[in-house]
Amino acid sequence: MKIGEWFDNLPLPGFVKDIIVVAVVVAFVSIVSQIALGLWQPMVAVESGSMVPNLNIGDIIIVQGAARTEIIPWDEAELKDYKSFNNPGDVILYRPYGKESPNLLDQGKMMIGISPGYDKATPVIHRALSYVEKGETMWTDGPAAPFSGYITKGDHNEVIDQQAGQIFGMANMSYIEANSDQLRDVGGGIYLDKKTGLIIYKVANGTFVGDGISYLTPVEKEWVIGVARAKIPLVGYVRLIPNIISDQIHKLMG
């Protein structure tokens, strides 16, 4: 007896069989993706216009796992005459400040206006411009990098991610010790406040509070999920439906 005939003859309701088929297909695709690209979920939807016109809102991006490939930033790509999505340098998907990505439950909460927590964030897909070592300036006449990592930028943005933020003010020097239970050590004297989402910068001349995409911090290699390799235009709008619904709920609630 063939597998198809055996499955059809199982004493199960039709909808149960449909669920089993879908689960098997999803598992198969995930396994193939892990083998070929190094990621269980190799596709992401573009949610903002920061990479326009090379990546647009609603595009589905095929991502290759960072462990499976070399990342070529803009400055190296120019020497090799290498381009990706029309410009020199690889486009990378990274977790800002090393934050975890929202899971399905978190996304459900976001649809009804509940925050998944400030220690989680949607990954950013921007271009790698250069790689700096700890202590090197992150841009011309800029501050020294607190640790090694990539300098990144959205193709449509005017400034690099490391400049896209602001300092709100100073914190008490004892703030870090007094609130250690709600802070996550990012490295290099930088801390993520999991209750407020703000970033605490401890430097020689004081302790400062700020916010941004990857403000004053390069993107560590460990934060990089993968490298964008291809895109499927507009298909990702299906994936963005929860975000659209959430935005409308927020507008109705004022």
Counting the structural domains of the chain, the total is 3
Residues 129 and 62 in one domain: yes
Residues 180 and 153 in one domain: no
pTM of the predicted model as reported, rounded to 2 decimal places: 0.79
Residues 32 and 59 in one domain: no
Q: In which order are the strands placed within the sheet that holds 190-193? A: 165-171, 206-212, 199-203, 190-193, 183-187
Residues 77 and 20 in one domain: no
Alpha helix (H) ranges present in the chain?
3-8, 14-37, 74-80, 104-111, 175-178, 241-252
C-beta of residue 47 within 8 angstroms of C-beta of residue 57: yes
250: tokens are: 């927020």
Residues 131 and 241 in one domain: yes
For residues 76 and 60, give the distance between their C-alpha atoms in angstroms, rounded to a whole number.
Answer: 27
Domain around 253: 42-163+220-254
**Domain CATH for 86:** 2.10.109.10
Residues 29 and 87 in one domain: no
142: tokens are: 């800029």
Residues 82 and 143 in one domain: yes
For residues 188 and 128, give the distance between their C-alpha atoms in angstroms, rounded to a whole number.
Answer: 21
Residues 187 and 172 in one domain: yes
Residues 153 and 52 in one domain: yes
DSSP category for residue 22: H
Q: What is the pLDDT along the chain (254 residues), one digit of tens a residue?
A: 465 565 466 666 665 555 655 555 555 555 544 454 455 567 888 989 999 999 999 898 989 999 889 999 999 999 999 999 999 999 999 999 998 887 767 666 655 566 677 778 889 999 999 999 999 999 999 999 999 999 999 999 999 999 999 999 998 878 888 888 999 999 999 999 988 889 999 988 889 999 998 999 999 999 999 999 999 887 655 555 555 454 544 445 45
Residues 11 and 122 in one domain: no
Residues 111 and 176 in one domain: no
Q: Which residues pair with 191 in a beta bridge?
A: 185, 200
DSSP category for residue 115: -
Residues 140 and 185 in one domain: no
For residues 102 and 116, give the distance between their C-alpha atoms in angstroms, rounded to a whole number.
Answer: 7
